[in-house]
Amino acid sequence: MCTALAAKGLDVTIFTTNFGREKEVLLECPYDYQGFHVHYFPLSKPRRYFYSPILAQTLKRCITQFDIVHIHGIWLYPTAIAAYYCRKHGIPYLIRPRGNLEPYALHQKVIKKKIYGWLIERRNLNNAAAIHFLNEKEAEGGTQFGLQAPIVIIPNGTDPLDERKLQSLRGRFRLRYPELSGKQIILFLGRINPIKGLDRLCEAFVKVVETVPQSRLVLVGPDNGGFSNQLKHLLKKEGLINYTIFAGTLVGEDKLAALVDSDVFCLPSYQEGHSIALMEAMVCGLPAIVTPEVKFHDLEKYSAGIRTSGSGEDIATGIIALLQNREMRKQMGLQARTLILSKYTWDKVSEEIVKTYEHILQSKTYGRWGFRGTRSTANP
């Protein structure tokens, strides 16, 4: 997103913590990256809150250098401190909740969130110039939370990968894992986390193998909290651990190689906004199997995949249908790539983001204590 915004002439800076990258980055030293600047700040305890006093000190000192602030995420210290200094100095800010106002998320640690919401987060959200949701369904969750700030709906985007580039990577992932030779690959890409519904996928895979014994399951992504061990235990119990590859985190061409060598992409999440992993799979020409909670309804509208009921049996039925019908896979894959290139590249999405920024900055109603404009559920 920031690369696309910088390409449109915006001077973009990211402030973030070094969470998960403690040994990789220098602190408080700006990095120039693909047209924008990134500053990493160290964490202090409590780390789970992403508490960073140095980040706060820097925001206090330089927040007035920025025309607008786009905050990603809630329930965390960087959100609270950025929103506070924006309000103090009359800097308009947007907040993107990233799915954290949906019922599934709000029911996690519900007591803590009720208290924190009452003390801090409602003020941050209700004084925003806009709340940035990715789709209408996510916005409905915000409405139920009782938000008073205006709403804008702008989806995620992805890069328009060149077809020749994708073709050049074909076969590389299978070469890395010779046991995949001659097999059909069901791919999951994302965090290995309970919210992603991988228990559903493993249940479905048991039934898939019964009908399509040459199928294999590939799970790509970082392990969150040791959840992969639970999945391995489940797969061992079903006798399918040797039918499954845990590929870990893949980036760049390695990730693309896994996508182009797969036959079906499955996203069985219990909660999912506008998944970038799903769009990456689609732009690579993969048909997708998704659950009701995956909020990307253009998938079925444009016949680019199959939406299931979410049960293991129904997920299995969808996967089997695609694995057994090469022509269906091909047509859905073509539809998927065409859809992403026509509507969801970062170049197109960033145009909507720029329009939103301009609308907010041109508004005469943004004052010291927040935006008081008209509530909207459409793009400005």
- Give residue 102's pLDDT band: very low, low, confident or very high (50, 70, 90): confident
- Please tell me the distance from the alpha carbon of residue 342 to that of residue 345, in angstroms, as a whole number: 7
Q: What is the mean pLDDT of residues 285-292?
A: 96
**Selection from 104, 99, 158, 106 nearest residue 132 by Cα:** 99
- Give residue 352's pLDDT band: very low, low, confident or very high (50, 70, 90): very high
- Please tell me the distance from the alpha carbon of residue 273 to that of residue 285, in angstroms, as a whole number: 21
Chain mean pLDDT for the chain: 90
User: Structural domains in the chain?
Assistant: 2-157+347-366 (3.40.50.2000), 163-343 (3.40.50.2000)
Q: What is the pLDDT of residue 136?
A: 86
Do residues 83 and 68 lie in contact, with contact meaning Cβ atoms separated by under 8 Å? Answer: no
Q: What is the pTM assigned to this prediction? A: 0.82
- Please tell me the distance from the alpha carbon of residue 320 to that of residue 243, in angstroms, as a whole number: 16
- Please tell me the distance from the alpha carbon of residue 260 to that of residue 185, in angstroms, as a whole number: 10
127-178 pLDDT, tens digit per residue, is 999 999 998 888 887 777 778 899 999 999 999 999 999 999 999 999 999 9
Whether the predicted pLDDT of 350 surpasses 50: yes
- Please tell me the distance from the alpha carbon of residue 46 to that of residue 225, in angstroms, as a whole number: 17
Helices (H), 284-377: 298-301, 312-323, 326-343, 346-362
